[in-house]
């Protein structure tokens, strides 16, 4: 029997990774009911990471923490054994801003620190911070404050929230805060390699996506630089070096805070592929389907579909891709995917904001995959594997 694994990322704004997988499965089985299908919804550290983990055997635990503008939000942590996964986007993400109104100077990461405290109560071996999609650019200051770091004005009062609050920072210290995670493997899952400061830093590159104008971008970058210097003066001698590390600028500087706490940056795509058991499924499969909302130049730098294709190649499994749109010519995708289908090639309508239409088109993609690439019945030999 031919075995197919369907392992997509979400189609942002339209369908969750699980919804994408279900629609593709429907199309494949309508045309080839004899095949065996395994679904593996994926995430790379951004929105949907907890949902992907729970679909692979983690258990959701709901917590109420401080949202990006100070209002409480309820989010889920994913727990399995000694591992706790915290999804930053569900706590201080763009999607949980009240009325969707940006707060580039005020948005805080305090809720992430509170979630870490919840996680540490169960003495985990590993805490995974899934970094991506946040509304904050505070260098993780709110996170550190929630864990007990004294970040204060000259009069001893706590600084205000967000990157804007860092401008008034007089004294900062990490005494005792680093000890809170001693013995815990703190994993910073991200596919962003930006440093904290400068033209490739958190404010310059990602601030505009969070509503910051040119003046606010400069304000935030200066405030983050001030934060680093105050940390050094307060005893964190490695602060400047950590600010330059790849990934320090991830999630508005949450990567920097994680590094200060002894965390390690790793590829979100590769980490989640391993965490969710992709290799085990691929090893027993003849055919794989992956995809994401936009297949573009960024995809080739190691985002989930390409990362999955690399894993599949090691198992000799051919991979086909689906996408909401594809801006890459065939010559750029052929090294990774046997075929690529884009929903924008199937309709003139705006499928990116129409989940029902996207699901229907993905089912059509499943039909095409089955008709063109799968044996017609279960007596046919399994598909030839690639070298």
Tens of pLDDT, residue by residue over 276-328, are 899 999 999 999 999 999 999 888 877 899 999 999 999 999 999 999 999 99
* Residues ≥6 apart with Cβ < 8 Å to 295: 305, 321, 323, 325, 326, 327, 328, 333, 340, 342
Mean pLDDT of all residues in 322-349? 95
Q: The domain 49-269 is classified under which CATH number: 3.40.50.300, 3.40.50.10490, 3.90.1510.10, 1.10.3720.10?
A: 3.90.1510.10
What's the confidence (pLDDT) of residue 245? 98
Q: Which helix (H) or strand (E) holds 36?
A: strand 36-39
Rounded Cα–Cα distance for residues 21 and 289 (Å): 9
Examine domains 3-42+277-373 and 49-269 and report if their fold is the same: no
Rounded Cα–Cα distance for residues 319 and 323 (Å): 13
Task: For domain 3-42+277-373, give the CATH number.
Answer: 3.40.50.10350
- pLDDT tens digits along 46-75: 888 998 899 888 999 999 999 999 999 999
Q: What percent of the chain has pLDDT over 70?
A: 97
DSSP state for residue 211 in the 8-state scheme: T
Global pTM reads 0.89
What's the confidence (pLDDT) of residue 302? 74
Q: What are the residue boundaries of the structural domains of the chain, listed by start?
A: 3-42+277-373, 49-269
What's the confidence (pLDDT) of residue 299? 85
Report the DSSP beta bridge partners of residue 6: 39, 289
What's the confidence (pLDDT) of residue 385? 59
What's the confidence (pLDDT) of residue 135? 97
Q: Where are the alpha helices (DSSP H) in 234-336?
A: 239-243, 254-260, 268-275, 278-283, 304-314, 330-333
């Amino acid at each position: 029997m031919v075995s197919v694994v369907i392992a997509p990322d979400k189609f942002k704004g339209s369908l969750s990774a699980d919804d994408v997988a279900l629609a593709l499965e429907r199309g494949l089985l309508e045309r080839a009911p004899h095949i065996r299908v395994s679904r593996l919804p994926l995430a790379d550290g951004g929105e949907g990471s907890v949902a992907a983990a729970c679909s692979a055997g983690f258990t959701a635990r709901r917590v109420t923490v401080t949202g990006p503008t100070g209002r409480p939000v309820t989010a889920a942590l994913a727990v399995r054994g000694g591992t706790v996964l915290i999804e930053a986007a569900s706590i201080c993400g763009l999607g949980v801003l009240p009325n969707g109104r940006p707060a580039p100077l005020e948005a805080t990461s305090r809720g992430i620190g509170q979630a870490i405290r919840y996680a540490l109560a169960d003495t985990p071996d590993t805490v995974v911070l899934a970094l991506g999609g946040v509304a904050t650019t505070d260098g993780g200051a709110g996170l550190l404050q929630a864990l007990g770091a004294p970040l204060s004005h000259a009069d001893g009062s706590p600084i205000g929230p967000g990157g804007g609050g860092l401008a008034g920072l007089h004294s900062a210290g990490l005494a005792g805060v680093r000890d809170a995670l001693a013995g815990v493997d703190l994993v910073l899952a991200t596919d962003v390699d930006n440093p904290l400061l400068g033209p490739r830093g958190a404010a310059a590159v990602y601030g505009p996506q969070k509503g910051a104008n040119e003046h606010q971008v400069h304000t935030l970058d200066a405030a983050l630089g001030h934060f680093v210097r105050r940390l050094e003066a307060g005893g964190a001698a490695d602060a400047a070096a950590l600010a330059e590390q790849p990934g320090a600028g991830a999630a508005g500087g949450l990567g920097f805070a994680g590094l200060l706490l002894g965390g390690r940056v790793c590829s979100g795509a590769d980490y989640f592929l391993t965490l969710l058991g992709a290799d085990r499924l691929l090893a027993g499969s003849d055919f794989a389907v992956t995809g994401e909302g936009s297949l573009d130049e960024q995809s080739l730098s190691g985002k989930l579909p390409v990362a999955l294709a690399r894993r599949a190649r090691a198992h000799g499994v051919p991979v086909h891709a689906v996408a909401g749109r594809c801006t890459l010519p065939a010559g750029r995708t052929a090294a990774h995917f046997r075929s690529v289908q884009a929903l924008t090639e199937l309709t003139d309508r705006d499928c990116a904001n129409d989940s029902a239409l996207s699901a229907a088109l993905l089912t059509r993609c499943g039909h095409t995959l089955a008709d063109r690439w799968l044996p017609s019945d279960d007596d046919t030999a399994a598909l030839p594997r690639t070298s």
